[in-house]
Structure 1
């Protein structure tokens, strides 16, 4: 390990210790648990229905996307056909490898299907897509397929956020940002050449003191992955999973006339955060992120102050937190680093895998 990285990890440890002293002693509530699936995504609708999802490359069984029933058991969502593994169903009409869920302000669920054959594999033609479901009716209203203009060999479309009539998605496989115009579903790929979307070579993903390694044995590198938009829609914040974080005004992203060079110049450094699993904003605009190295969820207040919200060994690789209408924070402890793919073919997942809920003391 390089001296620079040792100092960086030491600083993270000091930050974590300081934060633990601030963390409130409030219990984690188990919302759901499973012995079959790696749920790395969670969403909640206005009726407090809870939805969970995960990619099949993790070795998960059961539906790719589920709604929890009254007994908190997963039921295929929006229906069994979308969750089928029957190869006779076109890949444009079934989930292949779902990576993210996101509920918008119009009562719609946006399901991000990376459409890959496997982790680090190829994008299956027609499989990488956005599936939009009306949460009031439970019906699929739109399927937006990522075309060859934005998809590359090795792409892994990761997550989505919104600002006005545009959406933004990260490509964790081939570094870049996809800008989607919601007025006509046209899309553009931007920032391909910017270092801001590329995983640094000197920052490892470390959990439980162990470097997460790809199937080839090398330290795992994940390009543009977590992202968030500010409440006013002015800024897009983004990073490689390893950090650091950058930001850019959405007005520049939305302008197709800007050249790649000019657009890249609009990027600003934001914060030097550690490896982050996922993020969420509360109603006040505070920014929440999961600090993977310390099994901790932290908050950046609008004032800029960083504080620990909750820290617990159970919160191992919280991947995509979200809030419900009452301001409670949902935390899917996905244990992604423990799946067989990253452990020489042997699963280290500690079952059951759980989704937690945490009541915040704002």
Structure 2
């Protein structure tokens, strides 16, 4: 595998942000792609209340952000982003008030959400009240929302497949003729991760590859973000290593392979989705379909395009990488404002969107001091492909 670095012309942040703030206060709308391929464009500075790890866009260009409930500053966990930077609770303030007495009806900790091919919004709720601790009973779930009415139309419980140390993280939904499924990652609070496959038609969910090397946090990984080793740093000066199992996922264009990686791992893996979904296969049989695709750097989110190229959120480089099907990796864009690049989304008209989450600046990594600096940058880049 070779790594090529490519120079890219980057837009000035001040001018781009000023332009975004003068736009009318309506939902963010993806415009027809006209920029040359590879230019990184600052779309908007999101005035989110806290760390926006997740990002998705509807087919008509509405943009949504997701802010896991790491602490009490998370006043809402799912929001809609407007061009002036405002972020409003979605689908409502009431739905974003976590209530352990109504775990299936309220949102607790949403790290990500995605739109399916029918333009339905699916939210992944990890059911947590903080960054750690046991998920609230009955609160881990998938929530389906119709954006035409902003109404919740379906909820699928994930209670049977979460553990006391689960931390559900990423989501992909595959809806096509003869198939209606979802795939999730559980990065685990102790670094012991897993994959979860959900048959959306029946609601049946299965936990796969728990404890497998491909879903487990790798000990001894050194992750450097903004020139500093990422660790848990307490106010009293004590430190401990970061642990993170299965984190980012991406789906191949034909839906046959799921790409995934632990948060604390430099390796990219793929597994056959048919094996994940087959109730007759045990974990050993599923593991037989896992392929180690080699090193890809330290990343958060992943996404694949219609040419089966996997985009990589290169957090150590403040950049975007891309892995071609032949294994070649290229750094396609970098920008110092791209602080902890996290979740991708590809629109039908050829824009790759990416959130800058600033997660490394959170208090737990800085001795209790919150070094995040809103607004949080949302970037996009023109690509020569569509969504997978």
Is TM-score (shorter-chain normalized) higher than 0.5?
Answer: yes
Return 5+ residue gaps in structure 2 as ranges: 11-38
> Which region of structure 1 is more displaced relative to structure 2, 72-81 or 234-243?
72-81
Aligned match of 1:189 in 204, 207, 226?
207
Q: Is the 8 A contact 1:107 1:136 kept in 2?
A: no
1:258 aligns with 2:281: yes
Aligned match of 2:345 in 314, 322, 325?
322
SS of equivalent to 2:70: helix
Q: Is the 8 A contact 2:69 2:128 kept in 1?
A: no
SS of equivalent to 1:95: coil
Who is 1:47 aligned against? 60
State the alpha-carbon separation in 2 of the partners of residues 177 and 160 from structure 1.
Answer: 10
CA spacing shift, 1:350–1:32, aligned 2, 3 Å: closer
Q: Is the 8 A contact 2:352 2:380 kept in 1?
A: yes
1:169 aligns with 2:154: no
Who is 2:134 aligned against? 122
CA spacing shift, 1:24–1:298, aligned 2, 3 Å: farther
Return 5+ residue gaps in structure 1 as ranges: 1-10
The one-character-per-residue Cα deviations of 1:186-209 (angstroms, maximum 9, x if unpaired) are: 111111131111011021332123
SS of equivalent to 2:349: coil
Q: C-alpha displacement at 1:70, in angstroms? A: 5.8
SS of equivalent to 2:104: helix
> Which region of structure 1 is more displaced relative to structure 2, 27-36 or 311-320?
27-36
SS of equivalent to 2:232: coil
Q: Give the alignment of 1:226-237 within 5 angstroms.
A: 226-237=248-259
Q: Count the aligned residue pairs.
A: 345
Q: Give the alignment of 1:1-362 within 5 angstroms.
A: 15=3, 18-19=4-5, 21-25=6-10, 26-34=39-47, 36-57=49-70, 60-69=73-82, 71-85=84-98, 87=99, 90-147=102-159, 149-163=160-174, 164-173=179-188, 174-214=192-232, 217-243=239-265, 244-360=267-383
SS of equivalent to 2:341: coil
The one-character-per-residue Cα deviations of 1:22-70 (angstroms, maximum 9, x if unpaired) are: 4344352232321632211111111111111111215644432111246
> Which region of structure 1 is more displaced relative to structure 2, 218-227 or 321-330?
321-330
The one-character-per-residue Cα deviations of 1:64-97 (angstroms, maximum 9, x if unpaired) are: 2111246442222112211125x48623211111
The one-character-per-residue Cα deviations of 1:295-338 (angstroms, maximum 9, x if unpaired) are: 01011234543222210111111110112232212221001011
Q: C-alpha displacement at 1:137, in angstroms? A: 2.3
SS of equivalent to 2:296: coil
State the alpha-carbon separation in 1 of the partners of residues 308 and 247 from structure 2.
Answer: 21
State the alpha-carbon separation in 2 of the partners of residues 255 and 286 from structure 1.
Answer: 26
> Which region of structure 1 is more displaced relative to structure 2, 33-42 or 325-334?
33-42
More helix by share: 1
TM-score (norm. length: structure 2): 0.83
Q: C-alpha displacement at 1:249, in angstroms? A: 1.0
> Which region of structure 1 is more displaced relative to structure 2, 256-265 or 288-297?
256-265
State the alpha-carbon separation in 1 of the partners of residues 210 and 135 from structure 2.
Answer: 18
Q: CA RMSD in A?
A: 2.2
State the alpha-carbon separation in 1 of the partners of residues 9 and 289 from structure 2.
Answer: 39
State the alpha-carbon separation in 2 of the partners of residues 264 and 119 from structure 1.
Answer: 29
TM-score (norm. length: structure 1): 0.88
Q: C-alpha displacement at 1:225, in angstroms? A: 0.6
CA spacing shift, 1:252–1:343, aligned 2, 3 Å: same
State the alpha-carbon separation in 2 of the partners of residues 202 and 184 from structure 1.
Answer: 41
Who is 1:6 aligned against? none
State the alpha-carbon separation in 2 of the partners of residues 150 and 88 from structure 1.
Answer: 19
